[in-house]
Amino acid sequence: MPKIPTLTDIIEAAERIKPYAHRTPVLQSSWFNEQTGAELFFKCENFQKVGAFKFRGACNAIMKLPKRDGEKGIVTHSSGNHAQAVALAAKLNGYKATIVMPKNAPKVKVEAVKGYGAKIVFCESTIDAREETAQTIIQETGATFIHPYNHPDVIAGQGTSAKELLEEIPDLDVIIAPVGGGGLMSGTLIAAKAINPNIKVYGAEPELADDAWRSLKSGKIEPVLRTDTIADGLRTSLGSLTFEIIQSHINDIVTVPEASIIRDMRNIWERMKIIIEPSCAVPVAAIMDGKVPVEGLKVGVIITGGNVDLDNLPW
């Protein structure tokens, strides 16, 4: 079992990734404040390198590798933001990245990863095929596998976003973020609770991918049962490490229906003029639907990314 990172690890991660990662802006919206009766602070990771918070974790994990390991290469399997994050972080460190992607991955995502100079190895679209293919590459080359969330250095990297947010707005009462594999939520919990033990941290999930909510209730990692939520970044079950951190620290996990996710994705686009991917709208919808108590409070919302296929919008 890998070691659970601490605030010190997050502070070190922040220093480590500083030359490469953006310090993303914190935006406000008078319309959302009026609608909710709260003061909302949106931490905009859609403006992060590769368009998502994932760059923080991948960059920290790859920069922390001993040079002799990095030079043997980096491997991961992902068809989402983590793939681009690993590709770019490896490139910036002068390492070779190999990304295992399912044969049916959207062309736009394949091109994005190629654009960052990574090698792509295609496989069947099952999780077993992905893991086997990655394993084969590791055995052949000695490359290092960077897990998208169940990895202490990745978690510490993701926690740097909440750390920055609390530096800017130190008196937040609440932070809310989406829960997919739990890497962002774990890093957020460690940073936020160490900086301010009284802060409340909530997770938000689509009703159609409520595995973290069920895991919290049952006390063990529950699988995602369906993969048809529009929030494509959240179709993932928790890992052993992220489950342990979330179980120990989180105040609550709430779920929202698809219609609310689409509604508030559009509200953010129209009212704030920023492009967010559907996963980001999940915590916003939780607030707008009254699923978490926010009235009169200062609330941080982590906007996780902005990678959307503009030819396939949900309206």
The residues that touch a copy of itself, with contacts defined as CB under 8 A, are 25, 27, 46-47, 51, 266, 269-270, 272-276, 306, 310-311, 313, 315
Residue 160: what are its φ and ψ, rounded to 5°?
-70, -20
Closest contact distance (angstroms) between CB of 25 and a copy of itself is 7
Compare residues 293 and 314 and give the one whose CB is closer to a copy of itself.
314
Report DSSP state, residue 100: E
State how far the Cα of 288 lies from the Cα of 306, in Å rounded to an integer. 20
CB of 208 to a copy of itself, least distance (A): 23
Contact predicate 306/46, CB 8 Å: yes
Q: What is the DSSP string of 173-188?
A: SEEEEE-SSSHHHHHH
Helix (H) or strand (E) holding 42: strand 39-44
Provide, rounded to whole angstroms, the least separation between the CB of residue 308 and a copy of itself: 8
Least distance (Å) between residue 310 CB and a copy of itself = 6
CA neighbours closer than 13 Å in the CB half-sphere of residue 215 = 30
Please report how close the Cβ of residue 105 comes to a copy of itself at its closest, in angstroms.
18
CA distances 14 to 57, 89, 236, Å, are 10, 14, 26
CB of 205 to a copy of itself, least distance (A): 23
Of 25 and 37, CB closest to a copy of itself: 25
Nearer to a copy of itself by Cβ, of 27 and 172: the residue is: 27
- 49 versus 291: smaller Cβ distance to a copy of itself: 49
Q: How far is CA 117 from CA 83, 96, 110, in A?
A: 11, 8, 11
Give the residue with the Cβ less far from a copy of itself, 28 or 126: 28
CB of 115 to a copy of itself, least distance (A): 10
CB of 309 to a copy of itself, least distance (A): 10
State whether residue 254 is helix, strand or coil. strand
Q: Closer to a copy of itself by CB, 216 or 262: give it.
A: 262
Residue 266 beta carbon to a copy of itself: minimum distance, rounded to whole angstroms = 6
Considering the complex, state which of residue 91 and residue 249 has its C-beta at the smaller distance from a copy of itself: 91
Distance CA 148, CA 155 (A): 9
d(CA 42, CA 306): 13
Distance CA 294, CA 288 (A): 10
Nearest residue (CB) to a copy of itself, 108 versus 225: 108
The CB-side HSE value for 276 (13 A sphere, CA atoms) comes to 32
Question: Parallel, antiparallel, or unpaired for β 144-145 and 74-77?
Answer: parallel
- CA distances to 99, 130, 149 from 74, rounded to whole Å, are 8, 15, 15
Q: Which is nearer to a copy of itself, 7 or 274 (CB)?
A: 274
